[in-house]
C-alpha cells in the first residue's frame, strides 16, 4: 500500500517546519508560539497530505442506534426523540446484517479510496467498545466491535480508514453543553475531566484501529485550543502521518468556536456545499448522498448527474469529496444508494484518470464546468454547453493536441484572446464531456485563471431594493454581477417583490440576458419578473417572464441602454440570484 513509512513521515515534519507552504500551520500568533510551543500544531507532513489529496474521493458513514428512529444523528436528541428515549436506543441496536466486507465492496465499487465513519457523534454513543464508557456498542445486543471489523475489512480491501469523532458530546455529563442542539448548559460541566475522556478515546481509536488516514473532528463548541492543540500534538506523536481536519478545537478569537473555513489543522471542511477554488489550503467537501446524514426512510436521493457534477466541481476546485451514506438499523446500505454509488464507480472506471491524482485548474470552475490537470494535460470537464461552445481565458501554454476522453473529436481555437472549444453534439457525453488539452509544458505551473462570462454587466455598479440582513458585502447585488457562481444577491426572508439594477456606464446595446436564480431542491422562488431599461424617468420592459430558475436565458430587442433593471414582481420567498448577465446578442 501507499502508506509512507515512519521515518519518511518524521522527515516530512522537519521539512514542514522549516518552510513548506503554510497549509497546516496553526493560527496561533508568532509570539504566543515562541512563548508556548505546546500551543502550536506543526501539522501533518506534506507527503501525507499529498497522498490524501491524491485519493480525491471517500465514503463518509453516519451510523448509530439513531438509525432505529430514522431521524438525524445527534440533532434529534431532545427534539424529535425525547432525551431519555434516545439514550436507550442502543439497548435495541442489533444490526445483524452488518457486513464490513460488503460496505468496503460498496465503497470500492463507487471508486472511493477512503472511508471515514462516525465513531461517536454529538449524541455520545461509541461504535466501538471503549474502556472509558459503557455507552457503547459493547452495551448493545449486537456487541460486535464495528470499528475492528471495518478497519480490518478496509485494510484487506485496499481502502484507507479514518475516524470521525465529535468533540462536543451532549450526552457526557462533563461536557459543558447538552441537547437539544448543544444549547443547554450542564450543571456537571468539567472540561478538564472531559478532556481526559476525549484523549483516552482518540488514543483508543489510533492505537486499536490505526494507522488512521484521518481524524475527522467536529463541532468543538467550548473545547478551546488550549485543550485542542496539545491533544492534536498527542495524536501526531502516536501516529506522525495522521491528518487532522480543522474542527478539533475552537480557534482563538472565534466567538462561535469554529467555522468550516477555520484555518487550523491540516485542511478545511466545507459542509453540504462544494468549496471554492483553492490550491494553497487543502480542503474536502463533505456532502450527503440524500439529505440527512443518518438514515432516513425515503430520503431524497441525489441523481447520478448531481453526484458527478459535485465530484467534478470539487476536484476542479482542488478539493476532495467525502460523500456520505447513512446505513440502516439492520446494518445495510440501502440498495438504491448502492446502485447510485455503483453508477458513480462505473463513471470513474471510464474517466477516473481525470479525477484521481489530479489537481484543480488551471481554469477555475465556471458555468461551463471545471478543469483538472496532471503533468502536461488539462482535463476540461464540460458540464454545460451554453451557445454550443466553451470560451475560456488565454493560457500561457500552447495546446498541442485535443481530444475527448472515451472517444470523440474536439476542436480548439487558441488565440491571444483565449480558447474556444468545440465538440460536435454527437461526441458529447451525457453528464460530463471531458476534453483533454495537451500542453507544451506542465499544466500545474500555470497560474489559475478565472473563467469570464463576457457579460456586459460584469463588474457594473449594482444597486438593489433589498439586501439580506443588510449584509451588502456578502449578499449585495454586486454578487450577481461578479462572474462568481458561488456568491449571490440575496433578499430578506419574506420578501415578495424586489429589484436590482446595473449601471453599464454608458449606453450599451443589449439583446440577451442570462439569469441564474438560486434554487433549493430544484425550485426557484420567482413567479413573475420583468427586465426593464431606463428611458429618461421611465422604465420600459424589454422582457417579461414567470419563473426564472437555474440559468434562464432569453434574447430580446435588441435595445441600447445604460441602466438595466431586473424587477421581481412576485416571489414566494425572498428571491436570490447567483448571476445576472447581459450580452449584445
Ligand atoms: O455530522 C454532520 C453534522 O451533524 C455535523 N457535521 C456533519 C459532518 C454538524 N454539526 N453541526 N453542524 C453540522 C452545523 C449545524 C447544522 C444545523 Fe441542522 C442546521 C443544525 C440545525 C440546522 C442539520 C440540519 C442538522 C440539523 C438540522
pLDDT for position 27: 43
Q: How does residue 166 score in pLDDT terms, banded at 50, 70 and 90?
A: very high
| Per-residue pLDDT tens over the stretch 274-329 | 998 999 999 999 999 999 999 999 999 999 999 999 999 999 999 999 999 999 99
Same domain (yes/no): 373, 496: no
- Residue 454's alpha-carbon distances to 392, 393, 489, 580, in angstroms, are 10, 10, 19, 12
Q: For the ranges 63-77, 486-500, 513-527, 529-543, which has the lowest average pLDDT?
A: 513-527
* 488 and 537 together in one domain: yes
User: Are 245 and 325 in a shared domain?
Assistant: yes
- Residues touching ligand 1 (Cβ under 6 Å) are 62, 72, 74-75, 218-219, 271, 286, 293
CA distance 40 to 25: 8
Q: Which of residues 305, 327, 354 is at a domain's end? A: 354
Q: How far is the CA of 167 from the centre of ligand 1 (A)?
A: 14
Mean of the pLDDT values across residues 466-475? 90
50 and 169 in a common domain: yes
Ligand 1: which atom is nearest the Cα of residue 269? 8
The answer to whether position 341 is within a domain reads yes
Which of residues 354, 387, 422 is at a domain's end? 354
Q: Is the peptide bond before 362 cis (omega within 30 degrees of 0)?
A: yes
pLDDT beyond 90 at 487: no
Q: Please check whether residues 258 and 201 belong to one and the same domain.
A: yes
Instruction: Tell me the three state secondary structure of residue 193.
Output: helix
In a domain, 450, yes or no: no
User: At which of 354, 382, 411 does a domain end?
Assistant: 354
Q: Are residues 401 and 529 in the same domain?
A: no
Residues 440 and 496 in one domain: no
Q: Which residue has the cell 430578506?
A: 492
**430 CA from centroid of ligand 1 (Å):** 33
- Alpha-helical (H) ranges within 353-507 are 472-475
Residue 63 lies in a domain: yes
Domain assignment present for residue 210? The answer is yes
Q: What's residue 387's pLDDT?
A: 79
Kindly report the pTM of this predicted structure.
0.83
Residue whose CA is closest, atom 10 of ligand 1? 219
Nearest Cα neighbor of 348 from 311, 297, 302 is 311
Closest CA to 531 of 576, 584, 567, 480: 567
Looking from the CA of residue 74, the nearest atom of ligand 1 is 4
Shared domain for 151 and 11, answered yes or no, is: yes
Is the model's pLDDT at 335 over the cut of 60? yes
Determine the pLDDT at residue 30.
47
Q: Are residues 340 and 370 in the same domain?
A: no
Q: What is the CATH number of the domain that holds 560?
A: 2.60.120.260
The crossing angle, in degrees rounded to 10, of helices 100-109 and 335-351 is 40
Flag whether 216 is in a domain: yes
Q: What is the per-residue pLDDT for 4?
A: 38
User: Does 133 lie in the same domain as 63?
Assistant: yes
Separation of first and last alpha carbons in the chain: 55
Minimum-distance ligand 1 atom for the alpha carbon of 216: 8
Average pLDDT over residues 211-216: 98
Asked if residue 64 belongs to a domain, the reply is: yes
Query: Is 181 found in the same domain as 139?
Result: yes
Question: For residue 348, what is the domain's CATH number?
Answer: 3.20.20.80
Q: Give me the chain's average pLDDT, please.
A: 92
Any domain includes 455: no
Domain span at 116:
6-354
**What is the 3-state secondary structure of 563-581?**
EEEEEEEEECCCCEEEEEE
Q: For residue 122, how far is its CA from the centre of ligand 1 (angstroms)? A: 10
The pLDDT of residue 450: 85
Instruction: Tell me: do 344 and 409 sit in the same domain.
Output: no
Number of domains in the chain: 3
Amino acid at each position: 500500500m501507499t502508506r509512507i513509512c515512519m521515518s519518511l513521515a518524521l522527515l516530512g515534519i522537519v521539512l514542514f517546519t522549516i518552510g513548506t507552504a503554510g497549509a497546516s500551520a496553526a493560527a496561533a500568533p508568532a509570539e504566543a508560539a515562541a512563548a508556548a510551543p505546546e500551543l502550536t500544531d506543526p501539522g501533518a507532513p506534506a507527503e501525507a497530505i499529498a497522498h490524501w489529496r491524491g485519493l480525491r474521493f471517500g465514503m463518509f458513514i453516519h451510523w448509530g442506534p439513531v438509525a432505529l428512529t430514522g431521524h438525524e444523528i445527534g440533532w434529534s436528541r431532545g427534539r424529535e426523540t425525547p432525551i431519555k428515549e434516545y439514550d436507550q436506543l442502543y439497548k435495541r441496536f442489533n444490526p445483524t446484517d452488518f457486513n464490513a466486507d460488503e460496505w468496503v465492496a460498496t465503497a470500492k465499487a463507487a471508486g472511493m479510496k477512503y472511508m471515514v465513519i462516525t465513531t461517536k457523534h454529538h449524541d455520545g454513543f461509541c461504535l466501538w467498545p471503549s474502556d472509558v464508557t459503557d455507552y457503547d456498542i459493547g452495551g448493545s445486543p449486537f456487541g460486535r466491535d464495528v470499528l475492528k471489523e471495518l478497519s480490518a475489512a478496509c485494510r484487506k480491501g485496499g481502502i484507507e480508514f479514518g475516524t470521525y469523532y465529535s468533540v462536543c458530546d451532549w450526552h457526557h455529563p462533563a461536557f459543558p453543553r447538552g441537547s437539544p442542539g448543544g444549547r443547554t448548559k450542564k450543571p456537571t460541566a468539567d472540561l478538564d475531566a472531559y478532556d481526559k475522556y476525549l484523549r483516552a478515546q482518540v488514543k483508543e481509536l489510533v492505537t486499536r484501529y490505526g494507522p488512521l488516514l484521518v481524524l475527522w473532528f467536529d463541532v468543538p463548541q467550548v473545547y478551546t485550543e488550549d485543550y485542542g492543540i496539545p491533544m492534536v500534538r498527542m495524536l501526531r506523536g502516536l501516529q506522525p502521518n495522521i491528518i487532522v481536519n480543522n474542527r478539533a478545537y475552537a480557534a482563538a478569537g472565534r466567538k462561535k468556536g469554529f467555522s468550516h473555513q477555520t484555518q487550523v489543522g491540516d485542511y478545511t471542511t466545507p459542509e453540504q456545499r462544494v468549496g471554492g477554488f483553492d490550491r494553497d489550503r487543502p480542503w474536502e467537501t463533505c456532502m450527503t448522498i440524500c439529505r440527512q446524514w443518518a438514515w432516513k426512510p425515503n430520503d431524497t436521493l441525489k441523481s447520478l448527474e448531481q453526484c458527478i457534477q459535485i465530484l467534478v466541481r470539487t476536484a476542479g476546485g482542488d478539493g476532495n469529496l467525502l460523500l456520505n451514506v447513512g446505513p440502516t438499523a439492520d446494518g445495510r446500505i440501502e440498495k438504491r444508494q448502492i446502485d447510485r454509488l455503483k453508477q458513480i464507480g462505473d463513471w470513474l472506471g471510464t474517466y477516473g484518470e481525470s479525477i484521481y491524482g489530479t489537481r484543480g485548474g488551471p481554469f477555475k470552475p465556471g458555468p461551463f464546468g471545471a478543469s483538472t490537470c496532471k503533468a502536461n494535460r488539462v482535463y476540461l470537464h464540460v458540464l454545460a454547453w451554453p451557445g454550443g461552445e466553451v470560451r475560456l481565458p488565454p493560457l500561457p501554454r500552447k495546446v498541442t493536441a485535443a481530444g475527448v476522453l472515451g472517444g470523440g473529436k474536439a476542436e480548439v481555437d487558441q488565440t491571444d484572446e483565449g480558447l474556444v472549444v468545440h465538440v460536435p453534439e454527437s461526441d458529447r457525453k451525457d453528464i460530463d464531456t471531458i476534453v483533454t488539452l495537451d500542453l507544451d509544458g506542465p499544466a500545474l505551473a500555470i497560474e489559475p485563471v478565472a473563467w469570464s462570462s463576457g457579460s456586459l454587466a460584469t463588474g457594473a455598479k449594482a444597486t438593489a431594493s433589498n439586501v439580506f440582513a443588510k449584509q451588502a458585502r456578502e449578499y449585495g447585488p454586486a454578487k450577481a454581477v461578479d462572474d462568481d457562481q458561488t456568491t449571490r444577491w440575496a433578499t430578506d426572508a419574506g420578501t415578495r417583490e424586489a429589484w436590482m439594477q446595473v449601471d453599464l456606464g454608458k449606453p450599451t446595446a443589449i439583446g440577451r440576458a442570462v439569469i441564474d436564480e438560486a434554487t433549493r431542491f430544484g425550485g426557484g422562488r420567482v413567479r413573475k419578473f420583468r427586465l426593464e431599461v431606463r428611458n429618461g424617468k421611465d422604465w420600459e420592459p424589454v422582457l417579461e417572464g414567470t419563473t426564472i430558475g437555474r440559468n434562464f436565458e432569453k434574447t430580446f430587442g435588441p435595445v441600447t441602454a445604460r441602466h438595466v433593471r431586473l424587477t421581481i414582481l412576485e416571489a414566494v420567498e425572498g428571491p436570490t440570484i447567483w448571476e445576472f448577465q447581459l450580452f449584445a446578442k
